[in-house]
Amino acid sequence: MTLASAIAATILAIQPMAPATARWYAQIVVTEARKNQIDPWLEVAIVRNESRWISSVVGGTNGQCIGFGQICLSCDPSEAACAARKASLLGPATNLRVVAQMLSGARRYCMKRTGHAAERHYLAVYQGADARRHTTCGQVRRRGVWVDAPVHPLTVRVLRSRDEMRRNFPRLP
């Protein structure tokens, strides 16, 4: 079984849909994971947590968090450019690509800012936990040294979900 096949099977277990659609989503996840050097299972776990693989989900304050990865916009929804971006993010392929790009960007940010880029660090950025907890990449600065803050429960949930999915397909990377 290929990685894309395993991910497609996982997506189908999470959300019933046409198998061809799950394979299409899985191929995008695998391609973008390779391109952005992220764990594809992490993206699957994030989407499972954020939208349960329903691409039309709109949430957050004022309906500004969009699609699979609940990517939150910070623009005026009455402006045409914002409406166009929102419509774009409701497209499953675009949303999956942006999730992968955001994870990669968060990882680079954490490495540059704190010198640490474990998944728990950059997930704190992606999930917005840093802003709510006044941390940087899930860390606080104490006596000139970055120290891990307690891991946010949402981050724990996503990482556990990822690990559970990986265990179901142990012979795959």
Supply the CATH number for residue 159's domain: 1.10.530
Q: What's the pTM value of the predicted model, to 2 decimals?
A: 0.92
Give the whole-angstrom CA distance, residue 93 versus residue 78: 24
Q: Given a cut of 90, is residue 38 above it in pLDDT?
A: yes
Indicate the Cα dihedral angle 26, 29, 32, 38, nearest 10°. Answer: -140
In a domain, 89, yes or no: yes
Q: What is the pLDDT of residue 173?
A: 47
Q: Please report whether residue 173 resides in a domain.
A: no
Q: What is the pLDDT of residue 168?
A: 85
Does residue 107 form part of some domain?
yes
Count of domains observed in the chain: 1
- Domain range for 87: 3-168
Confirm whether 111 is domain-assigned: yes
Flag whether 117 is in a domain: yes
- Mean pLDDT across the chain, nearest whole number? 93
Residue pLDDT, tens place only, 48-96 = 999 999 999 998 877 789 999 999 998 887 899 998 999 999 999 999 9
